[in-house]
Amino acid sequence: MPEPQTRTVVVLAAGEGKRMKSSLPKVLHPLLGRTLVGHVLNAADPLGAARTLVVVGHGADQVRAHLAGIAPEATAVHQAEQLGTGHAVRIALEAAPEVTGTVVVLNGDVPLLRPETVGELVAAHEGEGAAATVLAAEVPDPTGLGRIVRDAAGRLEQIVEQRDATAAQLALREINAGIYAFDAARLRDVLGKLSTDNDQGEEYLTDVFKMLVSAGEPVGVHLAVDHIETLGCNDRVELAALRRLLRDRVNERWMRAGVSLLDPETTWIDVTVALDRDAVVDQNTQLRGGSVVGAGAVIGPDVTLIDTVVGPGATVVRSHAVGAEVGPGASVGPYAYLRPDARLAERAKVGTFVEVKNSEIGAGSKVPHLTYVGDATIGEQSNIGAASVFVNYDGARKHRTVIGSHARTGADNMFVAPVEVGDGAYTAAGSVIIENVPAGAMGVARARQRNIEGWVLKRRAGTAAAEAAERALGGTQGAPVVPSSASEGEPIHGGAESVGGTPEPGDTATE
């Protein structure tokens, strides 16, 4: 067994990525939950490197800021001018003179690379005691890539760039993936001797191989089983192709883990998302960021979840959620919008055209239709009438509304915060609630209705409405066929879709 080597990871991320035509540095483009460079760092993570160096240049400040977030242990090394991949590795090692052992170099734009493959490359390299080992792949179309040139015995001779290759070399389909393992000391030796005598006038890292070969050092080639892993990203067409490939990989993994994806081609799951067994994801659904979907939950169709946790057995249909929590057995949508810190307890319901922000909705409570709930706490088993607004903002500050448990608020209510509705309280339909409603009380805050008898017959004579009224009144002008106004003690509650309770005559509830 060879001695365990100290490992250093060097990620090359200074290039501009001209063909992306973007103000964002290429390595910061997102791909299903990580940036390109984030994927590469993730692939190198299990190596347990003592140091991680990231060579930055184009958009260095942006790349540094991103690294501080995703890999605070990594050191950025600034490459002011992009003088080639060899130059980039050279300055990285100059910035870390103490580095010995194995140096693993990864191009920053190879996002489908799997940690297992990097691990196998490094194990092969260290096992052979090689001076350098390159990850290679057989590809259907090698255009633009460096070719692996072997001698008659099949040993690596050199790596030749597309633009420096002979016709015979161009026909080779074995390519350099841009992922390498080196012995630090021998790499340092040759890096100082790189020439710029090539079509691009750059220091090519790939030239290290022919230099080591001619010095009689052992070099190796490790072939990737699946060439897809080695695909680079140079423009947005390639980025989209990589996204589809990664989607398929992620989806296959979840289906094999017991998750049903009804339409995998329209299901986009970030690599950072977790799903439990028997979850069902219907078509046109995106699960992003730190989202988690519990066992047996049903998500979709047409759902986007961002950093949202959905409990077991919950249902989310045609909705958009960001930073929300949906409790076990809760139900959301169709057409709901859950914003940050919307928290639904178990079996709570947020229905159609309902927006919820920074609010807790207690167990079994329902907000069924056409409502905005902002900065509120709703207790258990309460029902919020349709078309209500939690008026949380006075133009300067946000205030909270508290609704107790087993409360039933009427349709078309405004809760002007700060305000509280007690346990078991009711509010009347059409109320603007500006004062607290004590437990068990009925809060009524609306103008009383007045009917002006015969108004249409007099003021709109000859219209279809007047004729209809005349027919209804049996020709006896002005004589009402129904009582025009209710007596004292009228039923005034107007809750939406009830949680038990019988609608009463005159109830203005919605269904």
Q: Report the DSSP beta bridge partners of residue 57.
A: 59
- Using the rule CB under 6 A, give the single segment among 69-77, 201-209, 269-277, 486-494 that binds ligand UD1: 201-209
- The one-letter code for the residue type at 262 is L
**Does the protein bind Ca ion through residue 17 (CB under 5 A)?**
no
| Tokens encoding 375 | 């900065």
Site residues (CB under 6 A) for ligand UD1, limited to 50-69: 55
List 369, 399, 406, 493, catalytic entry: 369
Alpha-carbon distance 267 to 286, whole Å?
Answer: 6
**Does the protein bind ligand UD1 through residue 279 (CB under 6 A)?**
no
Q: Which CB sits closer to ligand UD1, 173 or 399?
A: 173
- CB nearest ligand UD1: which residue? 146
Cβ neighbours around 387 below 10 Å, total: 19
Write the CA distances from 132 to 103, 118, 224, 348, integer angstroms: 9, 14, 16, 59
User: Contact with ligand UD1 (CB under 6 A): which of 102, 206, 267, 431?
Assistant: 206
Identify the three-state secondary structure at position 11: strand
Alpha-carbon distance 231 to 341, whole Å?
Answer: 39
In the complex, least distance from residue 17 CB atom to ligand UD1, rounded to whole angstroms: 7
Residue 188: enclosing H or E segment and its boundaries? helix 184-191
Burial class, 82, CB count within 10 angstroms (exposed 0-12 / middle 13-18 / buried 19+):
middle
In the complex, least distance from residue 11 CB atom to ligand UD1, rounded to whole angstroms: 8
| Tokens 């016709």, located at residue | 167
**Does the protein bind ligand UD1 through residue 133 (CB under 6 A)?**
no
Site residues (CB under 5 A) for Ca ion, limited to 230-259: 232
Beta strand 359-361 with 342-344: parallel, antiparallel or unpaired? parallel
- The one-letter code for the residue type at 188 is R
399 is catalytic: no
- Using the rule CB under 5 A, give the single segment among 112-120, 227-235, 267-275, 373-381 that binds Ca ion: 227-235
Q: Which CB sits closer to ligand UD1, 17 or 294?
A: 17
User: Under 8 Å CB-to-CB from 127, ≥6 apart: which residues?
Assistant: 2
**Does the protein bind ligand UD1 through residue 232 (CB under 6 A)?**
yes
User: Contact with ligand UD1 (CB under 6 A): which of 9, 13, 93, 363?
Assistant: 13
Size of the site for ligand UD1 (CB under 6 A): 27
| Tokens encoding 476 | 């006896």
- Using the rule CB under 5 A, give the single segment among 19-27, 148-156, 229-237, 417-425 that binds Ca ion: 229-237
* Catalytic residue IDs: 369
- Interface residues with Ca ion (CB under 5 A) are 232
Residues that bind ligand UD1 (CB under 6 A): 12-15, 55, 79, 82-85, 87-88, 107-109, 145-146, 159, 161, 175-178, 204-206, 232
